[in-house]
Amino acid sequence: MDPPTDELVRFESFIRVPEIFFAMIGVARYGEPKRTLRAYLKHLLFWSSCINTGFCLVIEHIYFVKAAGNFTNFLQLTALAPCMGFTALSFVKIMTIKLNETKLTDMLHRLDALFPSTVALQQRYGVYQYNRESQVVMKSFSILYMILIWMFNLLPLVSMVAGYVSDGTWHKQLPYFMWYWYDWHRPGYFAVTFLHQNWGGFVSAVFYLSTDLMFCAIVLLLCLQFDIVAYRLSHALPDDHQELVGCVRIHQAVIELCNELEHMFSPSLLVNFLSSSVIICLVGFQATAGITPADLFKFVLFLVSSLVQVFLLCYYGNKLIVASSQIPYSAFEGNWIGASVSYQRSLLFVMLRSTTVQKLTALKFSIVSLASYSKILSTSFSYFTLLKAMYEPNEKKMK
């Protein structure tokens, strides 16, 4: 399908999907006024969502501690642990956004200022293809995560209805293992507890999803700017010093944005990489532990979602490395033969400066790239084999 010739791609379209999820949890959208009644209501929604989800995390930990040491609850523990890790990581992610809200808004303003503003420029730099990629990836990832969280949230309700149809009794179930100081089976208490767990689960997923999608959107916009610089350098006319200076200014601005993105997201990326190995291991263990078909489907979906989530971060980190590394080659492919010595010398300085590849790291411990993804998978598999080796002998003893 050929791209439309007269359709202008707006900057906001790149961040529309994450901002829809931000609006669901009360985070201000790009360019939205802050001192309004709507803004204060969204602020209230955000912190009430945080309090409920934090409460869920606390009582999950209490349940885990109380159940630990009893091997009969081992499968419950390994089912609860990835959910706890998911919730905790979602808090780290959304706090990354909330604590850097001003910096993030400023970063988006600067990217907006660099964004090609005419149809002709967008056609020249392939903006439509970038936007199409972002829409496909973000919508697909969003659908996957929404299916995942509502499978976890509503599967107990489906099981209860099926039980009622078969034997005429309600076997009350909750979506997650949590400790309560009251009998949640009582009428009224069950409905409130069920809703509060659903709210907590949904908010955790949105915390997770919105932050990752915004990260991917910003990286994609940075890659677009590197491609623009590469295109302009490769098509610059000999002795066009003004064009060369323009390319240098854009390149410097994009490098500064890369450094700010690294400083903003590096801590959460480290936590993400460390926890993902354990989460993938535990979810994989649950999927192979002889659970019911419904739970098997649920945890296989959780496993796929976790693998896709880490892959997306590593893929876009790798994409940034590739995009920034093409600058010196594009400069070399330009029309510098026959140009003045001063122009050639200036171009050489640009090539030398751009040999430093821009990359994102997890607090300098690991580079966010596809190589890191393979290491995470390898570590997860090592944990998985160890856990299986520990579980199977004990399972045989219990039998």
**37 is in which domain, residue-wise?**
11-398
pLDDT at 394 over 60: no
Overall average pLDDT of the 6-35 stretch: 81
Residue 157 falls within a domain, yes or no? yes
Give the pLDDT of residue 1: 42
pLDDT of residue 73: 65
Is position 131 within any domain?
Answer: yes
pLDDT tens for residues 214-255?
999 999 999 999 988 888 888 777 777 787 788 888 888 998
Instruction: Give this prediction's pTM.
Output: 0.88
As a whole-number percent, the residues of the chain with pLDDT over 90 amount to 8
Q: Does 372 map to a domain?
A: yes
Inform me whether the pLDDT recorded for 339 exceeds 80.
no
1, part of any domain: no
Higher pLDDT, 94 or 36: 94
In a domain, 4, yes or no: no
Output the average pLDDT for the chain: 83
The residue written with tokens 């060369």 in the block is 244
Residue 131 has pLDDT above 50, yes or no: yes
- Look at residue 356 in the predicted model and tell me its pLDDT: 80
Does pLDDT of 390 surpass 60? yes
What total number of domains does the chain contain? 1
Please report the pLDDT score of residue 221 as a whole number.
Answer: 92
Mean pLDDT of the 14-23 span: 88
Question: What integer is the mean pLDDT of 318-336?
Answer: 83
Asked if residue 257 belongs to a domain, the reply is yes
Least confident interval from 18-32, 46-60, 163-177, 279-293: 279-293
pLDDT band at 163 (very low <50, low <70, confident <90, very high): confident
Is it the case that residue 262 has pLDDT exceeding 60? yes
User: What was the pLDDT predicted at 41?
Assistant: 85
Better-predicted residue by pLDDT, 326 or 295? 326
Q: Residues of the chain with pLDDT > 70: what percent?
A: 92
Span 194-203, pLDDT tens digits: 999 999 889 9
Q: What is the mean pLDDT of residues 2-29?
A: 79
SS3 for the chain is CCCCCCCCCCHHHHCHHHHHHHHHHCCCCCCCCCCCHHHHHHHHHHHHHHHHHHHHHHHHHHHHHHHCCCHHHHHHHHHHHHHHHHHHHHHHHHHHHHHCHHHHHHHHHHHHHHCCCCHHHHHHHCHHHHHHHHHHHHHHHHHHHHHHHHHHHHHHHHHHHHHHHHHCCCCCCCCCCCCCCCCCCCCCHHHHHHHHHHHHHHHHHHHHHHHHHHHHHHHHHHHHHHHHHHHHHHHCCCCCHHHHHHHHHHHHHHHHHHHHHHHHHHHHHHHHHHHHHHHHHHHHHHHCCCCCHHHHHHHHHHHHHHHHHHHHHHHHHHHHHHHHHCHHHHHHCCCCCCCCHHHHHHHHHHHHHCCCCCCCECCCCCECCHHHHHHHHHHHHHHHHHHHHHHHHHHHHHC
Instruction: Let me know if residue 2 belongs to a domain.
Output: no
